[in-house]
Amino acid sequence: MAVSNLKVALIQTDLYWQDKVANLAMFEEKLWQLPKAIDLVILPEMFATGFSMDMESLSEPMNHTICKWMIQVAKQLKVTITGSAIIQDSGKYYNRMLWVSPSGDIDWYDKRHLFRMAQEDESYDMGKKRRVFEVNGWKILPQVCYDLRFPVWSRNGASSDGEMDYDLSIYVASWPAARVKAWDILLQARAVENLSYSIGVNRIGVDGNGVEYSGHSAIYDYKGECVSSAEENEGILILELNYSDLIAFREKFPAWKDADKFELKN
């Protein structure tokens, strides 16, 4: 079956500190500026609150305000929309990357690697399951911020006939300006080593803890070329990813055949 190209929109913006109403209103205004025929919209990490450890007062159960807002947006704009939020589930708190289809169906990935330098590991529960979602035939690996530093968790596997686990990895983030060079390097590396597109969506501005963010949201292709970058500016990146070019490159340069075999254990 032929797979069509994928048109993605990345939203890089400042966030209102711990203010869901203001953030959702701000994103809604930006989303309605999007052109038609977007397949996938990507928001930053904890897009409704900023990166906060105040999970008790900021968390929501599934299908509450944030989830309902995302479902409404997905249905109205006929897009898949994703970004992470603070979710309470079965008495536990998660930095959960929500994934909502145009039909309103909702799925998720819970952040695996919790940023101990900000006590995230003391505030949230670790995700234990790697997920791969699908949009228009594209297989997409969702990841959150600090996950970017751990390549084993995002390693792209392949079957004997060359069918790979995923075609695109997405990292939503609140990645500080002080370490933005590492962000640039690692996003590029994840694309090269996994023979896939790699997208990172980071925020800008200064949060309530005085942490500065400088964006650098970007799209890298399977050869490690940066095909689009927001640098440090507020704005929306829109790009169409080419599936046939990706497959042609994998066939021409089948490095996956020489990959080391291993199994992940939770």
Half-sphere exposure of 57 (CA within 13 A, CB side): 7
Catalytic residue among 20, 45, 60, 67, which?
45
Instruction: Please state, in angstroms and rounded to a whole number, the distance separating the CA atoms of residues 261 and 115.
Output: 28
Pick from 43, 6, 46: nearest CA to 197: 6
Instruction: Please state, in angstroms and rounded to a whole number, the distance separating the CA atoms of residues 100 and 104.
Output: 6
Catalytic residue among 20, 60, 111, 120, which?
111
User: What is the sign, positive or negative, of the torsion defined by CA atoms of 128, 123, 70, 36?
Assistant: negative
Query: Could you tell me how many helices (H) and strands (E) the chain has, helices first?
Result: 6, 14
SS3 assignment, position 126: coil
Pick from 11, 36, 2: nearest CA to 230: 11
Instruction: Please state, in angstroms and rounded to a whole number, the distance separating the CA atoms of residues 14 and 98.
Output: 20
SS3 assignment, position 214: strand
Q: Which residues pair with 219 in a beta bridge?
A: 199, 228
145 is catalytic: yes
226 is catalytic: no
Tell me which DSSP letter residue 165 carries.
Answer: S
111 is catalytic: yes
SS3 assignment, position 89: strand
For residue 250 the two structure tokens come to 């994998």
Helix-helix angle 65-77:20-31, to 10 degrees: 10
Q: Catalytic residue positions? A: 45, 111, 145
